[in-house]
Amino acid sequence: MTTTEAASVELRDLLLSRIRDVPDYPQPGVTFKDITPLLADPVAFNALVDALAGLCRRHAATKVVGLEARGFILAAPAAARAHLGFVPVRKAGKLPGETLGKTYDLEYGTAEIEVQTDAFAPDDRVLVIDDVLATGGTAEAALDLVRRAGATIAGVAVLLELEFLDGRARLAPALGGAPLEALITV
């Protein structure tokens, strides 16, 4: 197990202690990383939001994207704490007006996500925040949407990276040199 400089050992240990492994969910063979105990702990949740807001500042983001649904829970308070606007990337069919869409593969299925075409200003630098990086398919699709919507990628920040699924390698071309920050890597 390793950690990046995005989180101290103490913060990493606190966050990790509040993430629960659920075997064979949502399908056999998948160990689901359940963050609900972390969200229910005000000290851990507040420390997590602080750390993510710090990454917004470190990477000079001007907007924060959250990925439906669990990404919303982390990205929206982090954006507010960093005094930045929040942009939702939603599962297909949920956003009104003109949208851009992208279909992608998940560890356990396929999905399509969308963003509103007018979500960003041309000079926006976007930090994409999600809870888990697994295969990297969701984050890769989100980066494609952000670019097509005309903004610059400031980086991707996740609470938890599942190293064995190699999402970091999959994401590298889409990041184009921008950082991938994982508070915890397992």
Ligand X SMILES: Nc1ncnc2[nH]cnc12
19 touching ligand X, by CB under 6 A: no
In the window 149-178, what residues touch ligand PRP (CB under 6 A)?
Answer: 167
Query: Of these partners, ligand PRP, ligand X, none, which one is at the site of residue 30 (CB under 5 to 8 Å by kind)?
Result: ligand X
Rounded distance, CA 56 to CA 109, Å?
30
Query: Given the DSSP bridges, would you call strands 152-161 and 85-91 parallel, antiparallel or unpaired?
Result: unpaired
22 touching ligand PRP, by CB under 6 A: no
Closest to ligand PRP by CB, 88 vs 167, is: 167
Which tokens go with 166?
């190699």
Rounded distance, CA 54 to CA 82, Å?
7
Rounded distance, CA 126 to CA 82, Å?
13
33 touching ligand X, by CB under 6 A: yes
107 touching ligand X, by CB under 6 A: yes
Catalytic residue among 107, 114, 140, 161: 107
The H-assigned helical ranges of 108-166 are 137-148
Q: Which residues bind ligand X (CB under 6 A)?
A: 30-33, 107, 132, 134
Write out the catalytic residue numbers: 70, 107
